[in-house]
Chain A
Amino acid sequence: MKVSYFPGCTLKNKAKALDEYARRSAEALGVTLEEIENWQCCGGVFTTARDEVATKLSSVRILKAAQEKEQPLVTVCSACHNVVKQTNHAMQTDREFADKVNRYMAEEAPYNGETEIYHYLELLRDVIGFDALKEKVVNPLKGKKIAAYYGCLLLRPSGVMKMDDPENPSIIEDLIRALGAEPVIYANRNECCGGYILAESPALAKKNSNAVVENAKAAGAEMIITACPLCRYNLVKNGADIPVVYFTELLAEALGVKEDTNE
């Protein structure tokens, strides 16, 4: 199976691991991630201003590229996924906005939100299936107590993201189980790490980050996994004393493709 893939800027520098392990794991699971050509930044933040078109154009271009290849689009960074999915939703439901964007793009055929978008986690759950994934696991991570950290962007706004229950999610926990490890449920797993307030109030961001790590540790976690580069950066920088890794790294490890055999 071939899908269009949008890694996003962060995955090309700070979060290379998230990207690299995602590609290797996908190959191991029989899915080829075809990187979209000449992609640009997703836009960074989805502004809710209806007349704000310019920063959303790059997301629409990504979606349109996938549509032209007649492939679903797969993203992996929480922030990119949030922006691209919200933009697609606006293109589907906000006629005025969509018309404005289409006039601006001046493409031959207009785009009206036709592309299907999967977060990499949704690809695992809904396309490959956690049961099928479980069968491909060669190094089950037995006995490891792992805390899933969702952060704020992956699940909300839930009406648009439609990934999971925003207050009681299970998608990453189910992945952890499929990989043979034991998920740790803790209250702060869907709270913000403070990333958005980092520039304005580093102290508040640190407080938020620490609350997440402390809560996960108190619940018995030995490791935290996340899909968000900004969350990982924040937790690590603010002194997390248990490993914080990308979920794709854990996936690659369980699938036995963590070490690159080509090198």
Chain B
Amino acid sequence: MQRIGVFVCWCGSNIAGTVDVKAVAEALKSEPGVVFSTDYQYMCSQAGQDLIKNAVKEHGLTGIVVCSCSPRMHEATFRKTAAAAGLNPYMVEIANIREQCSWVHKEMPIGTEKAIILGKAAVAKVHLNAPLTPGESPVTKRALVIGGGIAGIQTALDIADAGFEVDIVEKKPTIGGKMAQLDKTFPTLDCAACILTPKMVDVAQNEKVRIFSYSEVTEVKGFVGNFDVTIKKNARYVKEEICTGCGACVDKCPMKKVPNEFNLGMDNRRAIYIPFAQAVPKVATIDPNACNMLKNGKCGLCAKVCTAGAIDYTQKDEYIEEKYGAIVVATGFNPISMDQFDEFAYNQSKDVITSLEFERLTNAAGPTAGKLLRPSDGKHPHKIVFVQCVGSRCAACAEKGKEYCSKICCMYTAKHAMLTRDKYPDTEVYVFYIDVRTPGKNFDEFYRRAVEEYGVRYIKGMVGKIVPEGDKLKVQASDLLSNKQLHIDADLVVLAAAIEPDKSARPLATMLTASMDTNDFFTEAHPKLRPVESPTAGVFLSGACQGPKDIPETVSQAGAAASKVIGLLAKDKLTGNPCVAYSDEMMCNGCSSCEKVCPYGAITYEEKEFRMPDRSTAIRRVAVVNPAVCQGCGCCTVTCPSGAMDLRGFMNSQIMAEVDAICK
């Protein structure tokens, strides 16, 4: 029989205002096993905690019930108190008589009655509590960052700066991501490459950082502190460690008509290529779908001109297995396809482009060397229409667009419009918008400058149709403020396409057992208080994989994710949560129901040998919970049809005892 002490907290007037705390303490005194019951003004205060400690010693308590606020607030506090008094911390139960009792009731008799019932339930549970000891697991002191854009680069730099090893896996031949494709950055208009490339060089030269470019993560096993990851290094047919990046092979390659991804297909590259001048690593890559030598064995020019002897047509994909303590997801975003938005004639006219294409058209390293020229005829456009929210905030067309706001478009469109007017004052610039959303430091001022100083014509309304005719784009739109239909003969139309998570995010989430929302953005552990952590322990989120973000926000989040990783890697051992599920192997029938519902991948199945009642041995398939991965959510316990799964600290018998006490 337990010897239970009950401690009823007033929480000032928070509880005592609508609960007669003395009556509660008195009523619980007569519950079975209760040998001491009292009330106090602030139980979480030092004096309150001392009261508990003394009571444990004086009355030889084996279990404690604290009737106070939510366990989310002070369960940890009272567990520490119990431990200080020599009790197992898991012998403490909290009866929440504040959030779900005193705060929601207005009348004292009702509040008091409910508090007594909740107290009785907690007492009933404590009777069945058993001492629990958390397990420990070691930590591999190396981090993996998946994605080498600005988010991944910043996270890796910050982790390396704290002295930990970090690997970046990037699926493209170079790191740099979307930021490397941008021209200028808002709101200060400094050039993207000028602020990004030093970071790319930093990360390449950092001794603590390894970059696996042209590589993908193909398998993740293990758990927080102990991930086993398989990385596939795609064959680039060039020996990375020998190639000097001189570019002689690129100049000689006869396959000149391969669409250049880096310039979004607006010009061509060769079959062997270096994506851009500041690429990291600066090594060539052969596109196996375009290379004649790889396709039919005819050519071999690049190998002939390579003085370093770096070309290797026989190179194979390579698989690397590595251990990590933490994983950061930084898989980024892409603009959505415009195929479903043919009202804007994107597929009918070369002069209807997306904003990212516009970035390349104005970038000095882009296909036009930074001159704003129409893709169709290379002429300077004199009338440009920007259309915002193409596919964003599109609740009515959810099957082709996105319901959410893509967040970055208002600012980059203001930037594009302003820069166009600045460089080409003879150009008329129109921007069609639903709303202009420019919160952020110096953001609204930036947009106002576009309107007031640069004379960009902002029109509230949407473009309904674009009809290419001759060398003009006939834009039909509505001006909602003057309630008029507008017809503009434009030379160039720029669509601010919605952004969506990279396609690689969904399979990666499955590998990591990290949760995603319906839009395939990674879900954070808490939207406000744990924004850079995935609910899966040891998995962290950086950048636009978690939601649309601009560069300043991405960099802040990248740093925050790094600090969380550093906090984890700084530990030698991880203390687990002992309130985890376990399976009664004799009752488990191996049905896999629990494995399917487990959101963390904590449950596996093993063939085990059992001695049967008739003394024969049988091999049975049974569920095994990895306590280091289990988060104690309890999904498996309610799913298990044979009742084999149970959750320590929240056992079925304990919950039933609480229910019985409430219903008594």
Interface on A for B, CB 8 Å cutoff? 165, 167-168, 185-188, 191, 211, 214-215, 218
Within the assembled complex, what's the spacing in Å between the Cα atoms of A211 and B468?
Answer: 11
Instruction: Say whether B569 faces chain A, with CB atoms less than 8 Å apart.
Output: no
Residue among B345, B466, B469 making CB contact with A214, cutoff 8 Å: B469
Residues in B whose Cβ lies below 8 Å from that of A185: 348
5 extra A-B contacts, CB within 8 A, seeds A167-B341, A168-B342, A218-B470? A187-B466, A187-B467, A187-B468, A211-B467, A215-B469
B438 shortest CB reach to chain A, Å: 29
* Smallest CB gap from B346: residue in A: A168
Within the assembled complex, what's the spacing in Å between the Cα atoms of A187 and B476?
Answer: 12
A148 shortest CB reach to chain B, Å: 13
Cβ B467 vs Cβ A215 within 8 A: yes
Residue among B340, B341, B345 making CB contact with A187, cutoff 8 Å: B345
Residues in A whose Cβ lies below 8 Å from that of B467: 186-188, 211, 215
Which residues of B (314-363) have their CB < 8 Å from a CB of A?
339-343, 345, 347-348
Within the assembled complex, what's the spacing in Å between the Cα atoms of A215 and B469?
Answer: 7
Interface string of B62-75 (1 = CB under 8 A from A): 00000000000000
Within the assembled complex, what's the spacing in Å between the Cα atoms of A167 and B347?
Answer: 11
Cβ B466 vs Cβ A168 within 8 A: no
26 contacts between A and B (CB under 8 A): A165-B340, A165-B342, A167-B340, A167-B341, A167-B342, A167-B343, A168-B339, A168-B340, A168-B342, A168-B347, A185-B348, A186-B348, A187-B345, A187-B348, A187-B465, A187-B466, A187-B467, A187-B468, A188-B465, A188-B467, A191-B465, A211-B467, A214-B469, A215-B467, A218-B469, A218-B470
Residues in A whose Cβ lies below 8 Å from that of B469: 214-215, 218
Residues in B whose Cβ lies below 8 Å from that of A187: 345, 348, 465-468
Within the assembled complex, what's the spacing in Å between the Cα atoms of A168 and B345?
Answer: 9
A94 shortest CB reach to chain B, Å: 19
Interface string of B447-467 (1 = CB under 8 A from A): 000000000000000000111
Residues in A whose Cβ lies below 8 Å from that of B470: 218
Within the assembled complex, what's the spacing in Å between the Cα atoms of A215 and B466?
Answer: 11
Residues in A whose Cβ lies below 8 Å from that of B466: 187
Query: Closest 6 CB pairs between A and B?
Result: A168-B342, A187-B467, A167-B342, A167-B343, A187-B345, A218-B469
Residues in B whose Cβ lies below 8 Å from that of A168: 339-340, 342, 347
B340 shortest CB reach to chain A, Å: 7
Which of A167, A188, A191, A211: most chain B CB closer than 10 A? A167
* Smallest CB gap from B339: residue in A: A168
Residues in B whose Cβ lies below 8 Å from that of A165: 340, 342
Residues in B whose Cβ lies below 8 Å from that of A211: 467
Residues in B whose Cβ lies below 8 Å from that of A214: 469
Which of A167, A187, A215: most chain B CB closer than 10 A? A187
Residues in A whose Cβ lies below 8 Å from that of B340: 165, 167-168
Within the assembled complex, what's the spacing in Å between the Cα atoms of A191 and B345?
Answer: 13
Within the assembled complex, what's the spacing in Å between the Cα atoms of A168 and B340?
Answer: 7
Within the assembled complex, what's the spacing in Å between the Cα atoms of A187 and B474?
Answer: 10
Which of B339, B348, B467, B470: most chain A CB closer than 10 A? B467
A102 shortest CB reach to chain B, Å: 31
Within the assembled complex, what's the spacing in Å between the Cα atoms of A188 and B466?
Answer: 9
A216 shortest CB reach to chain B, Å: 11
Within the assembled complex, what's the spacing in Å between the Cα atoms of A215 and B236?
Answer: 47
Which of B342, B343, B347, B470: most chain A CB closer than 10 A? B342
Which of B340, B341, B348, B469: most chain A CB closer than 10 A? B469
Residues in B whose Cβ lies below 8 Å from that of A188: 465, 467
* Smallest CB gap from B343: residue in A: A167
Within the assembled complex, what's the spacing in Å between the Cα atoms of A218 and B347?
Answer: 16
B377 shortest CB reach to chain A, Å: 16
Within the assembled complex, what's the spacing in Å between the Cα atoms of A256 and B340?
Answer: 37
Within the assembled complex, what's the spacing in Å between the Cα atoms of A67 and B241?
Answer: 73
Residues in B whose Cβ lies below 8 Å from that of A215: 467, 469
B550 shortest CB reach to chain A, Å: 30
Within the assembled complex, what's the spacing in Å between the Cα atoms of A39 and B468?
Answer: 43
Within the assembled complex, what's the spacing in Å between the Cα atoms of A185 and B468?
Answer: 11
Within the assembled complex, what's the spacing in Å between the Cα atoms of A187 and B345?
Answer: 7
B376 shortest CB reach to chain A, Å: 14
